[in-house]
Chain A
Amino acid sequence: DAGVIQSPRHEVTEMGQEVTLRCKPISGHNSLFWYRQTMMRGLELLIYFNNNVPIDDSGMPEDRFSAKMPNASFSTLKIQPSEPRDSAVYFCASRDQTGASNEQYFGPGTRLTVT
């Protein structure tokens, strides 16, 4: 299994530009999570999907952030317009909800730098 796949691995953009981060969860996993990691705030859950439906988006910081999951094998996190304070590492994680535990499998992350 290839694990959770994220692209791009690195993104550098200018303030005001639109940024789209992509995630392919592990095949067969029905839950998907987007996290943001910063030095100041650590790991924060942004949004949680179950069976492609957003269940909890209370962690999405502002309306500039949006996430979609059009099918079981693909999700996007979009920031429009981007700001320097959005600079962080963004992780996608997936989980098999039918499993015995709440173990989540993380992708390698996208390091976003907004200048």
Chain B
Amino acid sequence: AQSVTQLDSQVPVFEEAPVELRCNYSSSVSVYLFWYVQYPNQGLQLLLKYLSGSTLVESINGFEAEFNKSQTSFHLRKPSVHISDTAEYFCAVSGAGSYQLTFGKGTKLSVIP
């Protein structure tokens, strides 16, 4: 079984400042890791994913996350946030070959003008 901990439920940050959203997971097997974003009144959209290979993965809108196996973490970062990044972000883990996605509780990112 897998579990995901998102350490911060809310993160306020000023526009153009950097941000890090933390995610730790536990699993006894190899994992796939995901970050999803949920804008107000919308469904979840995949932001980026780690399956294998390079531990640093990037999204098209400037976010990146690094898989750290020794620390069982998959933190999400962006060097300069924009107002439009205001949303809730969910970290998720899946055992390789498993159908299940286990989600964290989510982190609400609020970008302040």
Contact = CB atoms under 8 A, between A and B. Distances in A.
B103 A102 contact: no
Interface in A74-102: 91, 93, 95, 97, 100-102
B22 to A, nearest CB: 16
The bracket for how many chain B residues form the interface is 20 to 34
A88 B9 CA distance: 19
B94 to A, nearest CB: 4
Interface in B26-50: 32, 34, 36, 41-46, 49
A111 B42 CA distance: 10
A42 interface: yes
A106 B43 contact: yes
Contacts of A102: 32, 94, 98-101
B43 A103 contact: no
The bracket for how many chain A residues form the interface is 20 to 34
Contacts of B49: 101, 103
Contact of A104 (B51, B101, B105): B101
If over half of A's interface residues share one DSSP class (helix, strand or loop), that class is named, otherwise mixed; here it is: strand
A109 B44 CA distance: 9
Contacts of B101: 45, 102, 104
Contacts of B99: 31, 48, 50, 55-56, 95, 97, 102
A54 interface: no
A106 B51 contact: no
Interface string A46-59: 00101000011000
A108 B106 contact: no
Interface of A: 4, 31, 42-43, 45, 48, 50, 55-56, 91, 93, 95, 97, 100-109, 111
Interface of B: 32, 34, 36, 41-46, 49, 51, 90, 94, 98-101, 103-106
13 contacts: A31-B99, A42-B105, A43-B90, A45-B100, A48-B100, A55-B99, A102-B100, A103-B34, A103-B49, A104-B101, A105-B46, A106-B36, A111-B41
